[in-house]
Amino acid sequence: MTADLVLRSPLDGWASSLSEVPDPVFAEAMLGDGVAIDPTGSTLHAPCEGVITSIHASRHAVSLRAAGGVEILMHIGLETVAMNGEGFEAHVVAGQAVAAGDRLISFDLELLARHAKSLITPIVITNPAGRAITTRFVDRAVKTGEPLLALSGALAGGVVAAIADTPELTRAVIVPLIHGLHARPAARVADTAKRFEAEMSLVALNRRANAKSPIGLMSLGLRHGDAVTLVATGLDAAAALEAVAELIEGGMGEGAPVRPTVSPVPFSATPTARPGVAVLRGVMASPGLAVGKAVRLFLDEIAVPELGQGAAHEKAALDAALTAVRTRISREAEASGGQARRAILGAHAAFLEDPELTGQALRLIGEGKSAGYAWRAAIGAYVEALRSLGDRRIAERVDDLLDLERRVLLVISGQEDRGPDLPQDAILLAEELLPSQLMALDPARLAGICTAGGGPTSHVAILAASMGIPAVVAAGPGVARVNEGTSLILDADAGLLHLAPDAKALETAQTALAARSERRIAARATAREDCRMADGTRVKVFANLGSLADAEAAADAGAEGCGLLRTEFLFLERDTAPDEDEQADEYAAIARAIGGRPLIVRLLDVGGDKTARYLPIAAEENPALGMRGIRVLLRRPHILRTQLRAILRGAPHAKIMAPMVTGLGELRAVRLVLDEARRELGRVGRTDLGVMIETPAAAMIADLLAAEADFLSVGTNDLTQYTLAMDRGNPDLAGDIDALHPAVLRLIAQTTQGGAKHALWTGVCGGLAGDLAAVPILLGLGVSELSMPSAAIPEAKAMIRTLSPEACRGLAAKALAQSSADAVRTLSNTFLTGEA
Ligand code: PEP
Ligand code: MG
């Protein structure tokens, strides 16, 4: 076997095996295998070509990454950290590329001999990256530059396999996950990679991460649509590659866009301060209203000493703390709690197992740092890396890392992590709440949360929403100035925290709170009844479906039918296109599950932010403006034909809807294939064919489309994206892309008018249909069918029953004349709270 990496002696001296080092951390290879040199020279040189990954502030230790990811730590003398750099001179800095033999550190040998426990200098392979030491040139005098160690491709566990026999395998994949490779998917990828012996990395955007390191994966900052190359070596590299590629390409259940749907009417009719009442403004993270007293939870920094008491002692302390926290996390995950809570704890457990994180902490311990300092520094490096990616969603995972930092440091420093004893109706105020802190609180006493920092998609926000606790984040430094016990109203829907409100405001909020709870109970009780406006005008309230399970839940929630079946979601996890029989069976099952109620099946809408493995689309510069929806189907007529036949067979009463239409030609082309399929199947009677209005073009020619279509249904998610030129998946624009923008409303108005010209009904099946502030405006614009997620149906129906068509028309006319989405929201909320 030939070596694929040779390390040359960095020093003149006597080479011996690592077991000779009088420190168990090195002697027992706790930091990795290697050799040691008792120096006679006073300059440390690079043992091979590489990049300096770290150089200790005391300049007594340096780490270098060689080709293939092999990491080498060189530690000059023992317990030399205590010399605080005296007698050491560094010639390189972190990040610098070096050639074999380059000078790294000079040191005063005599000074060292007087102050160090020993001069012996361990050279340790802290990350062998799939290789093993095959030859050591020890028990002899060495000169700088002479061979010292040889490494070859070998699998851990003693199974020798020359790397030349298991070539590097690569595979390119595109990330289909709508929110990119954030914490939970990263943990799943690492989990899958760990099942294989193979070394695997993900390479993208000029960065490389160990596939077994969830934090490393996250710090790649991979977003939806990014291309990434999987690189694997080892005996089972092919299987490992396949498993990880399949997992990523399958979307891990996150291929579908997640849109905010319901924004209930805020307690504050307008999201502004009331006169005479101090208000802090933040961002809604979990909806709702709370009235209560301030409970402050501002944490003291946990102090950790920089220097350790010997590497063996510090390593034992870190190991014990990691084990203790791991045990606590698994106990918490077993205890009662929802799926969101378990998923978050799962991600924390995966971070604790992250080999890069613990490896970095151990390296610092090896350099003389204390366990606490090393853990904080290792976490800190990742926190910096994640924050610097400029991806808000990934940056929000920082609080998970800080949470783990705190939990481990508390154990190391022998402190208890006790949350505050909450009084009833506590509104918790914090700089940034950590997930474990929230989970430790009694939800029955916790009325709301307001944090100075944080983000709306952080794990704390997800947890708060799953616990039904209203939460506002990013409310600014004013939060820290609120005194314990201050009376508060937290209007999460408006993103406001009212400080010390007067008796009248408190009473109003209490009344609103009671009314909300009654409204929810009452709405559920009448959800299954037909929906009519106050004057008896019928409004169809339908559900959007993407699976059979959705269909089963829809009937329960009071859906009167399905206004949008997203068929592309039915067959996501597959490599081959579903055949006609399979599709027909699925459509039939969904039609049965909604009890034969009206069903609108949308033709496959693949492309843009929705990918399907069996329908690959070439990489595009601008996918939202490229091959998607009907454009794809018309270029693959056999897929269109198969789907139309399957719908006609499985759900013969269903209406069919074409996505992403921009012109009459597309509608006519689909109609031709539909008519042909009907003839082949011997169908008599009608099959309604409708058009989704998702592009400004379709809205502007709605009258022309209506002349030949059977109905129109507005997809406000895309219509808003294309009208405002704002990517619907871009988290940085999430606060700005609001479908209540008057430009979007004017296009909807144009659509209903175009439909009405030909006596066609117009529905809305995008996210706006489930937004309570939008419902009266949409009805006022002439929309007669609203299709929304099932969960939104009871309250939407209850609200529609209180509305009169005339008042809605008046509101809609005013909305069209507003200058911004915010202004429209304010107008509608004022209308709904009866303050107009
Ligand atoms: C829409 O664009 O509003 C819509 C309903 O379609 P999708 O969200 O599936 O793109
Ligand atoms: Mg759409």
Burial grade of 704 (CB within 10 A; 0-12, 13-18, 19 or more): middle
With 0.85 as the threshold, say if the pTM is over it: no
pLDDT band of 692, cuts 50, 70, 90: very high
pLDDT tens per residue across span 130-177: 788 888 888 888 899 988 988 876 433 333 333 334 567 888 888 887
Distance (angstroms) between ligand 1 centre and the Cα of 554 equals: 18
Ligand 1 pocket by Cβ (under 6 Å)? 257, 564, 566, 605, 694, 715-718, 765-766
Q: Which of 63, 61, 52, 105 is nearest to 82 (CA)?
A: 61
- Nearest atom of ligand 1 to the alpha carbon of 564: 5
- Nearest atom of ligand 1 to the alpha carbon of 718: 2
- Nearest atom of ligand 1 to the alpha carbon of 256: 9
Give the residue, 600 or 184, on which the prediction is more confident: 600
Instruction: State the pLDDT at residue 457.
Output: 57
* Average pLDDT for 472-500: 89
Q: Map residue 273 onto helix, strand or coil.
A: coil
Q: How many whole angstroms separate alpha carbon 354 and alpha carbon 330?
A: 16
- Among 718, 748, 771, name the best residue to mutate to test ligand 1's pocket (greatest count of ligand atoms within 8 A of Cβ): 718
- Nearest atom of ligand 1 to the alpha carbon of 608: 10
CA-nearest residue for atom 6, ligand 1, is: 715
Q: How many whole angstroms separate alpha carbon 103 and alpha carbon 100?
A: 9
β-bridge pairing 227-233 and 199-204: antiparallel
Q: Which of 385, 384, 383, 377 is nearest to 360 (CA)?
A: 377
* Average pLDDT for 483-497: 90
Active site residue 450: no
Ligand nearest 600 Cα, by number?
1
Q: Which of 4-18, 549-563, 617-631, 684-698 shows the highest mean pLDDT?
A: 684-698
Q: How many whole angstroms separate alpha carbon 631 and alpha carbon 624?
A: 12
Give the residue, 257 or 116, on which the prediction is more confident: 116
- Nearest atom of ligand 1 to the alpha carbon of 257: 8
- Among 568, 603, 605, name the best residue to mutate to test ligand 1's pocket (greatest count of ligand atoms within 8 A of Cβ): 605
Q: Which of 632, 639, 588 is nearest to 610 (CA)?
A: 632
β-bridge pairing 540-545 and 785-788: parallel
Instruction: State the pLDDT at residue 418.
Output: 63
Beta strands in 67-111 (DSSP E): 71-75, 88-90, 97-98, 103-107
Distance (angstroms) between ligand 2 centre and the Cα of 721 equals: 9
Chain centroid to CA 146: 49
Instruction: State the pLDDT at residue 728.
Output: 77
Chain centroid to CA 793: 27
Instruction: State the pLDDT at residue 417.
Output: 65
Q: Which of 459, 498, 562, 808 is catalytic?
A: 459
Residue-by-residue DSSP string for 448-492: EEEESS--TTSHHHHHHHHHT--EEE---GGGGGSPTT-EEEEEG
User: CA geometry: angle at 108 spanning 104 and 109, to 5°?
Assistant: 105
Distance (angstroms) between ligand 2 centre and the Cα of 297 equals: 43
Q: Which of 636, 644, 634 is nearest to 583 (CA)?
A: 644
- Supply the mean pLDDT for the chain: 86
Ligand nearest 715 Cα, by number?
1
- Nearest atom of ligand 1 to the alpha carbon of 714: 3
Strand partners, 472: 284, 450
Evaluate whether 824 touches 741 at the Cβ level (below 8 Å).
yes
- List, in order, residues 6 or more apart from 134 with CB less than 8 Å away: 1, 3, 150, 151, 152, 154
Ligand nearest 544 Cα, by number?
1
Distance (angstroms) between ligand 1 centre and the Cα of 583 equals: 21
Distance (angstroms) between ligand 1 centre and the Cα of 176 equals: 17
Distance (angstroms) between ligand 2 centre and the Cα of 679 equals: 30
Evaluate whether 256 touches 546 at the Cβ level (below 8 Å).
yes
Distance (angstroms) between ligand 1 centre and the Cα of 766 equals: 5
CA dihedral 697, 698, 701, 703 (to 10 degrees): -170
Ligand nearest 569 Cα, by number?
1
Instruction: State the pLDDT at residue 748.
Output: 98
- Among 566, 567, 630, 662, name the best residue to mutate to test ligand 1's pocket (greatest count of ligand atoms within 8 A of Cβ): 566
- List, in order, residues 6 or more apart from 672 with CB less than 8 Å away: none
- Among 544, 765, 771, name the best residue to mutate to test ligand 1's pocket (greatest count of ligand atoms within 8 A of Cβ): 765
CA-nearest residue for atom 8, ligand 1, is: 717
Residues 609-622, buried b or exposed e (16+ Cβ, 10 A)? Answer: bbbbbebebeeeee
Instruction: State the pLDDT at residue 261.
Output: 36
pLDDT band of 340, cuts 50, 70, 90: low
Instruction: State the pLDDT at residue 259.
Output: 32
Active site residue 741: no
Q: How many whole angstroms separate alpha carbon 538 and alpha carbon 530?
A: 8
Ligand nearest 566 Cα, by number?
1
Tokens of 372: 């606490």
β-bridge pairing 562-566 and 599-602: parallel
- Nearest atom of ligand 1 to the alpha carbon of 609: 10
Q: Map residue 166 onto helix, strand or coil.
A: coil
Instruction: State the pLDDT at residue 57.
Output: 79
Which of 344-353, 622-631, 775-784, 811-820 shows the lowest mean pLDDT across its residues?
344-353
Give the residue, 448 or 519, on which the prediction is more confident: 448
Chain centroid to CA 195: 23
pLDDT band of 419, cuts 50, 70, 90: low
pLDDT tens per residue across span 804-816: 999 999 999 999 9
Distance (angstroms) between ligand 1 centre and the Cα of 719 equals: 8
Tokens of 454: 């944080």
* Average pLDDT for 569-595: 88
User: CA geometry: angle at 364 spanning 143 and 359, to 5°?
Assistant: 95
* Average pLDDT for 691-700: 98
Residue-by-residue DSSP string for 372-413: HHHHHHHHHHHHHHHHTT--HHHHTTHHHHHHHHHHHHHHHT
Instruction: State the pLDDT at residue 167.
Output: 66
Q: Is it the case that residue 321 has pLDDT exceeding 70? A: yes
Share of the chain above pLDDT 90, in %: 44
pLDDT tens per residue across span 599-647: 999 999 988 767 776 787 787 888 889 999 999 999 999 999 999 999 9
Instruction: State the pLDDT at residue 649.
Output: 97
Give the residue, 714 or 112, on which the prediction is more confident: 714
- What is the separation, in whole angstroms, between the first and last Cα of the chain? 84
pLDDT band of 556, cuts 50, 70, 90: confident
Distance (angstroms) between ligand 1 centre and the Cα of 716 equals: 7
Consecutive H or E run containing 448? strand 446-451
Q: Which of 48, 450, 765, 808 is catalytic?
A: 765
Q: Is it the case that residue 122 has pLDDT exceeding 80? A: yes
Instruction: State the pLDDT at residue 393.
Output: 61
CA-nearest residue for atom 4, ligand 1, is: 715
pLDDT tens per residue across span 215-224: 888 888 787 7
Q: Is it the case that residue 747 has pLDDT exceeding 90? A: yes
